[in-house]
Amino acid sequence: MKKFMLDLSVKENKILSDQYHLLILTSAEKLPEILPGQFAEVRVDGSATTFLRRPISIHYIDYDANELWLLIQVKGDGTKRLAQMTAGESLNLLLPLGNNFNEPVEKDASVLLVGGGCGVAPLLYLGAHLKRNGFKVNFLLGARTKDDLIELCEYERFGNVFTTTEDGTLGERGFVTQHSLLNGSNFDYFYTCGPTPMMKAVARHALKTKAICEVSLENTMACGIGACLCCVTDTTEGHVCVCTEGPVFNITKLKWQI
């Protein structure tokens, strides 16, 4: 897919919680085609301590409204600056980068999208995409506490939404992999993104139930386009770049201890 360097303009910055912001970007031009699971490398202007671009998942893309959504979790100075963007400001992005989630081969496959923390970001667009292609979508979203479970109604547009919180303030108490859903039903496909321990737990469950599992990694990156070789993960084929051969990997390809 052809990559672009685009200056998009901020249409809205929605404060979802003290940590999470939704940046809605738009453009005078038609946005390019992007697949679920892909990401952008965002240039952060106006932060003295942010030198490199920041990789950010495509949270959602609305071709009708010509909107690109980024979900930003404030971690350090770069994401802090992004969370301060105001309507009308311009943001420079390289996109679309990386590979994408693969949809199930069988049209009647049961799929579960498991997200934790900021890892929910690529799942909204994936859910929308799967629904559009006729799949029945289930989301399982986990967070530490209620306030970090954001935008649930957005997910509900595309499927059933199940939640867990570690403190029990919303949904079932515990970690995502402890949700009763996983005891009751059998899923054929798992798509997951979030903290590594969470993804490993999902992968373990998938292996056990002989399901297919794709994970999206968040290795630190410098270039985002396969030039620097900084972002590698170890796979059955040796070190490969997460930015070009990922961020989505089938767990059978990774050398994870699970």
Ligand X SMILES: Cc1cc2nc3c(=O)[nH]c(=O)nc-3n(C[C@H](O)[C@H](O)[C@H](O)COP(=O)(O)OP(=O)(O)OC[C@H]3O[C@@H](n4cnc5c(N)ncnc54)[C@H](O)[C@@H]3O)c2cc1C
Ligand Y SMILES: Cc1cc2nc3c(=O)[nH]c(=O)nc-3n(C[C@H](O)[C@H](O)[C@H](O)COP(=O)(O)O)c2cc1C
With binding defined as CB under 6 A, does residue 73 bind ligand X?
yes
Residues 220, 184 contacting (CB under 8 angstroms): no
The rounded distance, in Å, linking the Cα atoms of 109 and 120 is: 21
Residue 226 DSSP class: S
Partner whose binding site includes residue 51, from ligand Y, ligand X, other proteins, none (CB under 5 to 8 Å by kind): other proteins
Q: What is the maximum alpha-carbon separation in the chain? A: 51
With binding defined as CB under 6 A, does residue 117 bind ligand X?
no
Task: Among 5, 15, 65, 228, indicate the residue that binds ligand Y (CB under 6 A).
Answer: 228
In sequence order, what DSSP letters do the residues of 21-78 get, joined into one string?
Answer: EEEEEE-SSPPPP--TT-EEEEE--S-TT--S-EEEE--EEETTTTEEEEEEE--SHH
With binding defined as CB under 8 A, does residue 50 bind its own copies?
yes
Q: Which of 65-73, 169-177, 188-196, 226-234 is the region at the interface with ligand FES (rule: CB under 6 A)? A: 226-234
The least CB distance from residue 83 to its own copies, in Å, is 14
Amino acid at 6: L
With binding defined as CB under 6 A, does residue 121 bind ligand X?
yes
Burial 215-254 (b: 16+ CB within 10 A, else e): bbbbeebbbbeeeeeebbbebeeeebbbbbbbbbbebebb
With binding defined as CB under 6 A, does residue 258 bind ligand FES?
no
With binding defined as CB under 6 A, does residue 40 bind ligand FES?
no
The rounded distance, in Å, linking the Cα atoms of 61 and 100 is: 14
With binding defined as CB under 6 A, does residue 240 bind ligand FES?
no
Nearest to ligand Y of 44, 223 (CB atom): 223
Judged by CB under 8 A, the chain residues 138 through 157 that form the site for its own copies are none
Task: Among 30, 51, 108, 238, indicate the residue that binds its own copies (CB under 8 A).
Answer: 51
With binding defined as CB under 8 A, does residue 88 bind its own copies?
no
The rounded distance, in Å, linking the Cα atoms of 206 and 195 is: 17
Contact footprint for ligand X (CB under 6 A): 39, 50, 54-57, 71-73, 75-79, 118, 121, 218-221, 247
